[in-house]
Each structure stands twice: as C-alpha cells, then as structure tokens.
Structure 1
Amino acid sequence: MLVSTGQSSAGMEFVRLLLKRGMGVMVLVHNAEEEQQLIDLIGKVPVHRLYNSGSEDRIPMASEWAVKHAFVFERNLPECCQDIQLCHSWCPQRLYVVTSSLNPVHLMYRGLGASYVIHSRSGDISFVL
C-alpha cells in the first residue's frame, strides 16, 4: 500500500493505523524535511522519496515495486494532482484521494486517475480498511 500523507495529521494517523494492523505500507515524501517529520511523528517507516536529493530537474523517481492500493491525502492542489498522476502510473487499480475541501475537486481528481474521492473533515478514513 502506498500513502502520500501530504504532511497532514490525518495521513500520519492513517499510516500509524496501517502499521498497527501489520499492513505493508510505503509512504511517499517530496523532500528530506517531510521525511524527517514523518520519522519524528511515527518512527521508522518505509519511505519512497519522490525526487532525488539534489535533483534540479524535479523528475519523479520510478518505483521498482508493484502497488495495489494508494491513498493520497490532499494538502494543496498542485502537490495532490502531482501525487495522483504519479500513483496512478504505479497503481491504476485503486487510488483513493482524501480531501477536506468542499470545492468540487472530485471531478478533477477523477480525471487525473483517482478511483475514489473521499470527503472527510476529520480525515478519519479507517472505515476503508
């Protein structure tokens, strides 16, 4: 399972829940700062950094493993769209986007490849497990 937390507390809690249940999880991070925040809040967890450390070209790194389910927690629109496109290229079967936005973003997210768009003010999506 791949999770892009977008540095959201809901995303971090979801990762904790997955780890607590013994599920395999890989967290997508955009930079070293986001990776360190994740480690500080959750502890050691498998991480896939989206870009190489000194990469100026901002070309996403490829994944060498198959992903069945991906969850993208919306932090901001451009980053969320980028994560959706990347995750969709790795796992076209089940791609969930979690948003607290009341704007009609679900059509755009679906157009980018999201299978499901979950609107949640609290961010608690434990029911999908």
Structure 2
Amino acid sequence: MACRISELVLSCRDPELLARFWCEVLDFVVLDREEDGSLEIGPRDGFGGPQPTIILSRNDDPVVARSRLHIDVNATDRDQDAELERLLALGARPADIGQTGDEPWHVLADPEGNEFCLLRARLDPL
C-alpha cells in the first residue's frame, strides 16, 4: 500500500487574497473556512478526488527563507504564452531564482511571493 498527496498546506499572511488567486489559476473553489481565517480550496468535487486540496494557513510570522517546495502548473486549454498572460493578469509576477532564460518553463510568484512554475506542456483537464 502507498500514500497519496491529499492536501498541500501553504502558510500565508492573507488566505483570502491567495484563495482568490489560486482559485482562478486552478479553477478551484473555497471548500472550507476556519475561525482563524485559514481556508481550504480545491476542485469542485471536494476533498479526496484526483487532485489535492490546498490549505491556506494563516501565519503572520515573517518569511525568513525561500520555500524548498514549489508548485508546478500546466495549462489545460491554451498554450503556454496565453496562459502566462492570464497568470500575470491575475497578479502573478516573474520571479528570478537564477534561471538562465533558456528553460522551457516560466518561474513566477503568487501575490505573497510564493514561487511556482508554468510548464510548457498542455495537460488534459481532469
């Protein structure tokens, strides 16, 4: 028997801001709100499906180091250039982590500076 990733937890200062951003990026919805302001977002069919949900955990502590884990995303209904334009319009911004510029992916940051990559391949939507 093996495990499966069911949730990703991202500490953040403004869960509502990041929920709006990531729900638009991933076509997710808010599944749950906690009293402390934390949110769970995920696919419309909810927790336990083929995609993990994301817990946006409120944390006001200052960020002291770059995260060692990042999210990679792929477009499902357009090419990489069109998806890049869409992500930038949603509030993503280019991020420099030392890439050469020859990579087939784009390194971006969400509105709180969490890095993620937009890969070239288009995937079928689930």
Q: Settle same-fold status: TM greater than 0.5.
A: no
Which entry has the higher C-alpha Rg, 1 or 2?
Answer: 2
Greater helix proportion: 1
Greater strand proportion: 2
